[in-house]
Structure 1
Amino acid sequence: MKRALLSVSDKTGIVEFAKELAANGFEIISTGGTSNALEQAGLKVTNISDVTGFPECLDGRLKTLHPNIHGGLLALRDNETHVKEMADLGIQPIDLLVVNLYPFKQTIMKENVLLEEAIENIDIGGPTMLRAAAKNYNHVAVLVDPADYGRVMEEIKEKGGCTPETKFYLAAKVFMHTASYDTIISGYLNEKAGIEQFPETLSLTYEKVQEMRYGENPHQSAAFYKEVNDSKGLLTGIVQLHGKELSFNNINDTHGALELTKEYTEPTVVACKHSNPCGVGSAATIYEAYLKAYNADPVSIFGGIIVCNGTVDEQTATEINKIFVEIILAPSFTDGALEILKKKKNIRILMLENMKQKQPKDALDFKKVSGGLLVQNIDNELLIESQLSYVTEKRPTEKETEDLIFAWKVVKYTKSNGIAIGKDKQSVGIGPGQVNRIWACKQAIEHGMEFLGADALKGSVLASDAYFPFPDCVEAAANAGITAIIQPGGSVNDQDSIDACNKAGIAMVFTGMRHFRH
């Protein structure tokens, strides 16, 4: 008779699978809670202690670490020496192993979990059995995923056992599973132990959310993965209410728009295109904020992403439906707004509760390069008004300061070299991703004048993501009627820009912090 050892934390489908195994001539060996569940379902079960000749002990910490178990998993059935040793030692082979591990991930994701509870949910015997069986995949079928029960059962029914291809596939899955399990444990313990954020070796684990139809371009394949954490307020926590499946570019673009929206506390709408903001507005209501964002650039918003940090009502939905947009994301929608928006078949309507919740301060940002990976802290630093340096003869007015801070948030999420011009809590010109700063500045000015008129820039303010190496941006700003500038400072030519501001009567403040975004 073939023998199967079943010991699972996730008992999804295990009773049904065990019944099928028993019906196909398998002896069922089991442990603890799994054994109880199978016996209650009327199955005959051999307890693990009857196999080892030793009782489960130490509150269940020790039950499977025994030669009768690991010998049965590791022995090569086509090796005469192994077969003789098994006979001499009274070890019987185990032909199929089903194990999934203590729920360490679920434990550490609970609020206020204690370190002691997390430690108790580190599985020892389970990974050891899995690795032993997977190493011996030619002779043992090993399962960690209930989704594989059906495939294995069909092969047992039709062929008397698993095919070599399936056994190899299952073994590969085991090592992926245990690697992920250990990575989650090491990451949690490293944080608790205060080990450096950038250790000598870096192990990461992510869980697949969905396959993508394609990547940035149709010839690229892609998938979307999530971090092992609480997704509240994060992009991985979105709920899609309507529309086509999200694409790679949809998710990438929405990320930038969402993170920019989180910088604002008052009702704000961000329109984004190709990972750059194209229109941003803050106002007393979401409807008014949307009108500001739309009017800032009514051309680029077409086919773009719209993120709102407040409830979308019928009035706002009606305005949005006048154009084609790929995505509308908000923390909530009125029933009337959903009814209006759903009239368009392809618009993706996304909801994200806890939208104001930011990424953890220790979150990391990754950039793949040829042969390696660049890793850094995320840029989650916020501007502190009290730390601004006033470097010109003229100081900004209270209103100008308000607009400077508004524009500084916009430029933080604009690809470098980036310039953002703002007025009355509305972006009135954005110049992203240019190879020199004066081009970005001129582009922002030209776009603002094109969509809002030449007078719209008079009395506006300008934000630059990095310092001015030359006074040319100041001169261009003065010609456009811009009255205040915010920039990091730090150039050897800072004084030239300061002098140009003083000459033009422009107020300029330094932040001491830059926001390159590549």
Structure 2
Amino acid sequence: MIYKEVNMRALISVSDKTGIVEFAKELVLLGIEIISTGGTYNKLKEAGVAAIEISELTGFPECLDGRVKTLHPIVHAGLLAMRSKPDHMKQLKDLNIETIDMVVVNLYPFKATILKENVTREEAVENIDIGGPTMLRSAAKNYQDVTVIVDPDDYKEVLEQLKVKGEVSLDTKFYLMQKVFMHTSNYDTMIADYLKNQRNDHELPDTLTLTYEKVQDMRYGENPHQKAAFYREIGKKKGSITDAVQLNGKELSFNNINDTNGALELLKEFTEPTVVACKHGNPCGVGSADNILDAWTKAFEADKVSIYGGIVVINREVTLELAEEMKKVFLEVIVAPAYDKAALELLQTKKNVRVLELRDIDVPQEEHAYDLKKVNGGLIVQTIDSKLLIEEELKVVTDRKPTDKEMEDMLFAWRVVKFVKSNGIALAKDKQTVGIGPGQVNRVWSTKQCIEHAAELINEDATKGAVLASDAYFPFDDSVEAAHQAGITAIIQPGGSIRDEDSIKKCNEYGIAMVFTGMRHFKH
């Protein structure tokens, strides 16, 4: 094929050298003169690609271990001169500077550097690129005259346009400009985050800039008419869904990821063998036991209806015996730290169930991680709810103290209710949830709801001898009244209402033990 000759000059300096030799050879065939630097120049030269070294262009040698090479007026004037302005072009002529029409640059591998084990701060700082972002920004600012490429995936399109039209379209240049500023913004944010972590700075900053990498596009969001994608934070986040390996099933949906994340955060509250079943962002069944099969039985029997089409997360290896039980139920997602070979093979016979392996399933989130909620026109930011309670602040406020068993069940229920949407109530007995009441607009409705569900889904005696956990204080004593009628014997709640004495008095009247935690767990 005979290419149309293109009268251009291209400056090429890349850390990611994927496809660069092939791209440069095509540019040369088009008649484009190539200027290059350092390792890129050497690679092109070894491949037989004609190129001018940057120091030959600037008349100034690379110095300071390569820290200074492209930071020169001859480079940046050649990039920033607007071809449509006669005075710009006259100044270039007077200064004996030629234009540069294409910049192909990607940056020092800062991300790869900071993700290495035991990387030093000095090594990380040395991999902060200065000249690269400066060239990219200069070229992108003058996008109408300069084609700027930061991503090897764009080589093909640029070449096709040059071959067919002899130029790159203005629309493509504008797209490439946008891509540059997204890339440099991401790069600078990674650096700022790294430095913040190095300083152990956990304050909420005056300006908040976040950067995430796309994992996948999704078919849709919560509903089919909503667009959606899944992004992850930079770096390996142990114990998070972004670190999970999918072993079977369809792609995770928006709702799968959201629900699974909530289930995992609840699971992390437990160290003994535990199974959490979750539906629509709320736990529907939680069970702990001496072995994982019994834990599954408790979680399943807590709500055999809602678990259908739900999420199940497990903090022990899935055995064949457990897999056989789970296979009887339609589940959307199963997550565990490991699977017995036979168990995995059995689960994989159900082609649609999403089976995920998360080896570090018990690793908690960093205490100072952000919890973000988008509001119209802004963002509200808080640190995650990383605490459960402060043991020294637990306070028995009733005449009757809870038994050891009641206390054990109350702490179990307290872990669960922390992850129930407010107003949230959780009932538990023998380290099994027997009723969960999420998201009602008043607390007594949540209490009555989970009591009714316990009778309906388990049996009429399910709440007799059970304990109750409430994510926030009782503003009235009506929830105590409902608990007594259901046979509940102990209550754990934050306390702090101006009418606490009403609830305490009612508990004393019925012989119910009540414990205040001094810490609430709203979840909206």
TM score, norm. by length of structure 2: 0.96
Q: Deviations over 1:494-515 (max 9, x none)?
A: 1111111111111111111000
Q: Name the residue aligned to 2:431.
A: 425
Q: Give 1:298 deviation, angstroms.
A: 0.3
What SS does structure 1 have at the residue aligned with 2:381? Answer: strand
What SS does structure 2 have at the residue aligned with 1:456? Answer: coil
> Is the Cα–Cα contact under 8 Å of residues 337 and 359 in structure 2 kept in the other structure?
yes
Q: Name the residue aligned to 1:435.
A: 441
Q: Give 1:250 deviation, angstroms.
A: 0.9
Q: Give 1:196 deviation, angstroms.
A: 6.3
What SS does structure 2 have at the residue aligned with 1:430? Answer: strand
Q: Name the residue aligned to 1:57.
A: 63
Q: Separation in 2 of the partners of 1:15 and 1:90?
A: 30
Q: Give 1:114 deviation, angstroms.
A: 2.6
Work out which of the residue numbers 494, 499, 505 in structure 1 matches 2:511: 505
Q: Separation in 2 of the partners of 1:513 and 1:337?
A: 41
Q: Name the residue aligned to 2:4.
A: none
Q: Name the residue aligned to 2:35.
A: 29
Matches within 5 A, 1:405-484: 405-484=411-490
What SS does structure 2 have at the residue aligned with 1:70? Answer: helix
> Is the Cα–Cα contact under 8 Å of residues 202 and 368 in structure 2 kept in the other structure?
no
Q: Name the residue aligned to 1:252.
A: 258
Matches within 5 A, 1:295-334: 295-334=301-340
Q: What are structure 2's unaligned runs of at least 5 residues?
A: 1-6
Q: Deviations over 1:425-477 (max 9, x none)?
A: 11110000000000100111111111221222222111000001111111111
Q: What are structure 1's unaligned runs of at least 5 residues?
A: none
The code of the aligned residue for 1:399 comes to: K
The code of the aligned residue for 2:300 comes to: Y
Q: Give 1:146 deviation, angstroms.
A: 1.3
Q: Name the residue aligned to 1:212.
A: 218
Choose 374-383 or 16-25, whichever is displaced more.
16-25
What SS does structure 2 have at the residue aligned with 1:382? Answer: coil
Q: Separation in 2 of the partners of 1:107 and 1:83?
A: 41
Q: Separation in 1 of the partners of 2:406 and 2:25?
A: 74
Q: Deviations over 1:315-370 (max 9, x none)?
A: 11111111211111111112211221122221111111211111111111111112
What SS does structure 1 have at the residue aligned with 2:461? Answer: helix
Q: Separation in 2 of the partners of 1:150 and 1:75?
A: 27
Matches within 5 A, 1:108-507: 108-193=114-199, 197-507=203-513
Choose 133-142 or 328-337, whichever is displaced more.
328-337
Q: Separation in 2 of the partners of 1:433 and 1:85?
A: 69
The code of the aligned residue for 1:166 comes to: T
The code of the aligned residue for 2:84 comes to: D
Work out which of the residue numbers 72, 81, 92 in structure 1 matches 2:78: 72
Q: Separation in 1 of the partners of 2:381 and 2:162?
A: 46
Q: Give 1:106 deviation, angstroms.
A: 2.4
Q: Separation in 1 of the partners of 2:285 and 2:319?
A: 20
TM score, norm. by length of structure 1: 0.97
What SS does structure 2 have at the residue aligned with 1:253? Answer: helix
What SS does structure 2 have at the residue aligned with 1:312? Answer: coil
> Is the Cα–Cα contact under 8 Å of residues 274 and 295 in structure 2 kept in the other structure?
yes
Q: Give 1:194 deviation, angstroms.
A: 5.8
The code of the aligned residue for 1:501 comes to: C
What SS does structure 2 have at the residue aligned with 1:10? Answer: coil
What SS does structure 2 have at the residue aligned with 1:429? Answer: strand
Q: Separation in 2 of the partners of 1:302 and 1:507?
A: 35
Q: Give 1:18 deviation, angstroms.
A: 1.6
What SS does structure 1 have at the residue aligned with 2:387? Answer: coil
Q: Name the residue aligned to 2:17.
A: 11
Q: Name the residue aligned to 2:51.
A: 45
Q: Give 1:213 deviation, angstroms.
A: 0.8
Q: Give 1:193 deviation, angstroms.
A: 4.3
The code of the aligned residue for 2:325 comes to: E
Q: Separation in 1 of the partners of 2:150 and 2:368?
A: 31
Are residues 1:83 and 2:111 paired?
Answer: no
**What is the root-mean-square deviation in Å for CA atoms of aligned residues?**
1.5
The code of the aligned residue for 1:240 comes to: Q
Choose 482-491 or 332-341, whichever is displaced more.
332-341
The code of the aligned residue for 1:170 comes to: L
Q: Deviations over 1:382-422 (max 9, x none)?
A: 23434311111111122211111111111000000000011
Q: Separation in 1 of the partners of 2:149 and 2:273?
A: 50
Q: Separation in 2 of the partners of 1:141 and 1:476?
A: 71
Q: Separation in 1 of the partners of 2:401 and 2:40?
A: 72
The code of the aligned residue for 1:419 comes to: I
Q: Separation in 2 of the partners of 1:149 and 1:290?
A: 53
Q: Name the residue aligned to 1:514.
A: 520
What SS does structure 1 have at the residue aligned with 2:331? Answer: coil
Q: Separation in 1 of the partners of 2:199 and 2:340?
A: 46
The code of the aligned residue for 1:300 comes to: S
Q: What fraction of aligned residue pairs are identical, expressed as a percent?
A: 64
Q: Separation in 1 of the partners of 2:16 and 2:366?
A: 29
The code of the aligned residue for 1:323 comes to: V
Q: Separation in 2 of the partners of 1:484 and 1:117?
A: 57
